[in-house]
Each structure stands twice: as structure tokens, then as C-alpha cells.
Amino acid sequence: MRNLLNKEKFIALLHDGMSLMVGGFLTNGTPEGLIDLVVESNVKNLTIICNDGGYPDKGVGRLVANNQVKKVIASHIGTNPVIGTMMQENKIEVELVPQGTLAERIRAYGAGLGGVLTPTGLDTLVQEGKQIIEVKGKKYLLEEALGADMALIGGAIADNYGNLKYNKTMRNFNPIMATACEVVVCEPKRIIDEIDPEHVITPHPFVDYILVGEYCD
Amino acid sequence: MTDKEIIASRIALELEDGDLVNLGIGIPTLVANYVPEDKRVTFQAENGIIGLGGLVEEETEIVNAGGMGASILEGGAFIDSITSFTFIRGGHIDITVLGALEVDQEGSLASWIIPGKMVPGMGGAMDLVTGAKKVIIAMRHTNKGIPKILKKCTLPLTASHQVNMIVTEMAVMEVRKDGLHLLEVHPDYTINDVIQATEAELIFGEVLPMKGI
């Protein structure tokens, strides 16, 4: 069953040094209301795991611009030159991960697996420091599972039970991240009575809290 | 036709009826404009669309993999990133068309980092070139006169030995086991022009005028 959460209760869950997975793809499906509150909390030294670096004024980019981020794990930061500049100046640590590998590492954590074997990244910088494992004559990189303290889920339509489905392309990393974190908080676009069980994408046991109040229609 | 249009319209000839295709950002996106009506080609966008349609300026709920407002066609599906990369990594994409900074005669490519200068990241490109059945590179032949088609890439690789075909405004080339074959040359250029603009060794016999333009 869902636990409703207001702004104050959400901010109380945040602390310095925590790792946050943030859903969305170039901010499509990113919970901007939850980002507002992380900015307001001003917690520091965050590790942010997101598909991309968003934009300087949108998505996880706002946390970077507010100097709250120690490390970014993402597949792409090209849309946010602030991260690129801070990286060159050694003010932020960036781990670039191939997009499919990022998704699978998160899925693996949520599914209780130690990691995944993939040929993506072989013979590239991505290979550095990683084990190469041969299976049936084919080489693979061992990519370790990736979890976090908290997932911030956006782009969702929730029901009264806490089940989620997603709005159009806003699904992206959201349902995967909802499986891989200690605490999962969703900022739904709207709440309806009941989602048809055939259409539930994230079943309610994965969801700890649903943000209500001014951020939800 | 502009250089970009030449490249896109030539690549469209490679698409077969029934193919599932992923197009990268930039010149590759234009390929969709040249698919003949009698071929049913389905486009995938790695952020989560099977059946990607055209751009829609005001749209904010449906975006393509470049974050631009887009549309979904009848019969399409919205998917999560795991399903999207199951398509890509599991060999279910017939053709991917991507840009590159450098490509070499062994089929290796570099497209995601210029150390010390530009580090956009690989996004889905490493997965696409490793997992798609056929990899076509769409790019200008040179970077303002400096060859981009090399004997060996100098920039950090996106993947090694994965490129099947290179299409530029000058020529069509195919990577085979014995090296890089020059197959077609645009009528505005001679074979010698192409050789001059290419650092890689080109293997050729009969060279045809570029098709589809």
C-alpha cells in the first residue's frame, strides 16, 4: 500500500553523501518537483545516477549547478556543458557508462544479481579495470550491479494502491530504478483510483512513498 | 542535394522491407525522409519507442533519443530502457546508422570522446554498434580536409571491428575481412579525389556511380 509523503517528510529522508538514482531521459520523465526539494534541502556530496546529465537548468543538472554533486554516473553528459567543465577542472567525478550497460547494471542490482556479462565496451576505455570472462568462446566484460540509497521516480501515473504506469516516453529508466534502491519515492503526474492490473508497470511493493501536495495534479 | 541529403538518401537504399532500424542524431536522422513508401521499415528510439514517427515541435510527453518532441506511429509501443536495450544488444535491430569522428579500415570507430576537449559520453552508441546486425556510418568524408577514414583510429574507440559500411558525400565503402572496399563514388568526384581524401587503404575493382541520389 502506498505511503503518502509531503515536502517536509521527503526532505527529512535526505542526507549528505547519499546516492540518488533519478529517472528520466534528457529530463523527459524526470521528477522535477523532487529535484526542487533536493535543491531546497541543500544536501551535499551526492552521487547521482541518471541516464544523462540533463541540462544546466533542468533535471539533475540543477543539482550539479547547485554544487550538491560529488559524482555523476551517466551514459551521456553532452547536453550539460557545466558538468563537462567541472569534470575538466576536477570539481566533479564522472563515470560514463554505455546506456544499455547502465540499464542492465541497475536491473541486476534490483534482481539480486552480482552483475552482467556484455560485449559492449570491449576494446574501449570502458574495459579498463574490469574482468574479461569468456563464455562458449566469446569474450564479455563483467559489469557489476549498481544500486543506490534512493530512487526518484517521475513520469508516472499512480493509483490508490501505489501501483505505477508511465506516461508515454517518460517510462525509460524509471521502472528499472524503482527496483534497485533502498527507498523509492515517486512524484506522479496524477493519481487515479486503480490501474488495470494488466497495465501496471511498477507494482506497488517497489514503491515506498508517493509525493503529494503542490507537485501533483 | 546537400552533402547531408546525399548521404541520407544513399543510406535509405540499404533499408529492407520489414527492417527494425535505429537512427542516430544528426545526418542519420535524415535517412527516415528517404525510405520508399513500398518498404515497411520500423524505427526504434532507444529512449523507449518502437514505431517512432516524425518530429512534433510542441510535443513534450513523447521525445526521441535526442530529446526532441516526436510522435509514435500506429502499432507502436512505448518501452522501458531494459526492453529498448534488449532490442539493441540482443541482435534484434537490423540496421543502425550513426555518425563518427573517425572510422578505420578494420571497421573500428571513435565517436564519444576527444580527450581534454570534448567528453559528451557514449550514450547508446557502444551498445548499438556492438549489438545491431548491420552498422552503417553516415558522415562527411573529411573534417574540413583532414581525413576521418583512417588506417587506424587515433581517438578512444566506441567499438572495434563493428562497422559494416561507410557512406559519405563522396563515396560508399564497405568493410570486409580483407580491408576497406570502395564500391561507389559520387559523380561530382573521381576515384582519385576519394583516395586523396582518405587515409585508409582502399581496395577497389569496378567502382559504380553512387546510387540513390
pLDDT tens digits, B39-83 = 999 999 999 999 999 999 999 999 999 999 999 999 999 999 999
Strand, coil or helix: B116:
coil
Taking the alpha carbons at both ends of chain B, their separation in whole angstroms is: 8
Binning pLDDT at 50, 70 and 90, where does residue B127 land?
A: very high
Number of domains in chain A: 1
Give the architecture-level CATH label for domain B3-209.
3-Layer(aba) Sandwich (3.40)
With CB atoms and an 8 Å threshold, state whether A28 touches B63. Answer: yes
Give pLDDT, residue A171.
98
Mean pLDDT over all residues of chain B?
97
Domain that holds residue A31: 3-211
Contact present, B175 and B163 (Cβ < 8 Å):
yes
Which residues of chain A does B124 touch, with a Cβ-Cβ cutoff of 8 Å?
75, 98-100
Residue B116 pLDDT: 87
Burial of B188 (0-12, 13-18, 19+ CB in 10 A): exposed
Catalytic residue among B14, B46, B106, B169: B46
Q: Which residues of A touch B156 (CB under 8 A)?
A: 124-125
DSSP string of A170-195? Answer: G-TTHHHHTTSEEEEEEEEEEEES--
Length of chain B: 213
A211, A187 Cβ separation under 8 angstroms? yes
- Closest to B198 in 3D by CA, of B143, B120, B124: B143
A216: pLDDT strictly greater than 90: no
pLDDT the model gives residue A37:
97
Q: What are the residues whose beta carbons fall under 8 Å from the beta carbon of A48, sequence distance 6 or more?
A: A19, A20, A22, A60, A63, A64, A69, A71, A72, A73, A74
The mean pLDDT of A135-160, rounded to a whole number, is 97
Find, in chain A, the residue whose alpha carbon is nearest to that of B108.
A123
Confidence of residue A19 (pLDDT cuts 50, 70, 90): very high
Farthest-apart Cα atoms in chain B, separation: 51
What would the pLDDT profile of B160-213 be if each residue is shown by its tens digit? 999 999 999 999 999 999 999 999 999 999 999 999 999 999 999 999 999 998
Interface test with A, best of B81, B84, B112, B117 (most A CBs within 10 A): B81
Minimum-distance CB partner of A75 among B66, B116, B122: B122
Q: Quick one: average pLDDT of A134-143?
A: 98
Comparing CA positions, the residue from A143, A147, A145 lying closest to residue A184 is A147
Distance CA A42, CA A88 (A): 24
Q: Is the pLDDT of residue A1 over 60?
A: no
Question: For chains A and B, what is the number of CB pairs under 8 angstroms?
Answer: 136
Question: Measured between CB atoms, which of A28, A96, A99 is closest to B46?
Answer: A99
* pLDDT > 70: percent of chain A: 97
The partner residues of B179 in beta bridges, in order of sequence, read: B176
Q: What is the pLDDT of residue B7?
A: 98
Angle at A36 between CA A34 and CA A42, to 5 degrees: 105
Q: List % helix, strand, coil for chain B (3-state, nearest 5).
A: 20, 30, 50
Among A208, A215, A202, A209, smallest CA distance to A170 is for: A202
* Dihedral angle sign, alpha carbons of residues A121, A125, A126, A128: positive
> Is residue A148 in some structural domain?
yes
Three cell numbers, residue A144: 557489476
The mean pLDDT value for A139-160 works out to 97
Q: Which three cell numbers, joined as nine digits, stand for A51?
A: 541516464
Write out residues 129-168 of B within 8 Å (CB-CB) of A. 130-131, 156-160
Residues of B in contact with A78 (CB under 8 A): 120-121, 123
Q: Is A87 on the interface with B (CB under 8 A)?
A: yes
Dihedral, A50, B114, B203, B180 alpha carbons, nearest 10: -20
Q: Which residue has the higher pLDDT, B6 or A215?
A: B6
Closest to B167 (Cα-Cα) out of B75, B77, B76, B98: B98
Q: What distance in Å separates residue A12's CA from the closest CA in chain B?
A: 30
- Alpha-carbon distance of A175 to B130, in angstroms, equals 25
Task: State mean pLDDT over B109-116.
Answer: 95
Q: What is the pLDDT of residues A129-138, one digit of tens each?
A: 999 999 999 9
In this prediction, residues A23-51 reach a mean pLDDT of 98
CB-based contact, B102 to chain A, within 8 Å:
no
Vertex A111: Cα angle to A187 and A28 (nearest 5) = 30
A151 falls within a domain: yes
Between the alpha carbon of residue B191 and those of residues B109, B172, B184, B187, B195, the distances in Å are 23, 11, 9, 10, 6
Q: Predicted confidence band at A59 (pLDDT cuts at 50, 70, 90)?
A: very high
The predicted structure's pLDDT at residue A213: 74
Q: Given this model, what pLDDT does residue B82 score?
A: 98
What is the rounded average pLDDT of the residues A54-69? Answer: 98
What is the spatial distance between Cα A203 and Cα A127, in angstroms, rounded to a whole number? 35
Neighbours of A8 (CB within 10 A): 9
Question: For residue B213, what pLDDT is reported?
Answer: 87
- Does B29 score more than 70 pLDDT? yes
Domain assignment present for A189: yes
In whole angstroms, what is the distance from residue B169 CA to residue B19 CA? 24
B174 flagged as catalytic: no
Q: Are A109 and A147 in contact (CB under 8 A)?
A: yes
The string of pLDDT tens digits covering residues A80-95 is 999 999 999 999 999 9
Question: Residue A200 corresponds to which cell in the numbers above?
Answer: 501496471
Q: What is the mean pLDDT of residues A97-126?
A: 98
- pLDDT, tens only, A162-215: 999 999 999 999 999 999 999 999 999 999 999 999 999 999 999 999 998 766
Give me the CATH number covering residue A207: 3.40.1080.10
Residue of B nearest to A79 (CA): B120
Quick one: which of A5, A63, A60, A58 has its CA closest to A216? A5
Chain B interface, best mutation among A50, A57, A58, A75, by max B CB count within 10 A: A75
Q: Is A159 a member of any domain?
A: yes
Asked if the structure places residue A98 within a domain, the reply is yes
In a domain, A89, yes or no: yes
* Rg, chain A, Cα only: 17
Residue boundaries of the structural domains of chain B: 3-209
Question: Cell 523527459 identifies what position?
Answer: A28
Judged against a pLDDT cut of 60, whether residue A217 lies above it is answered with no
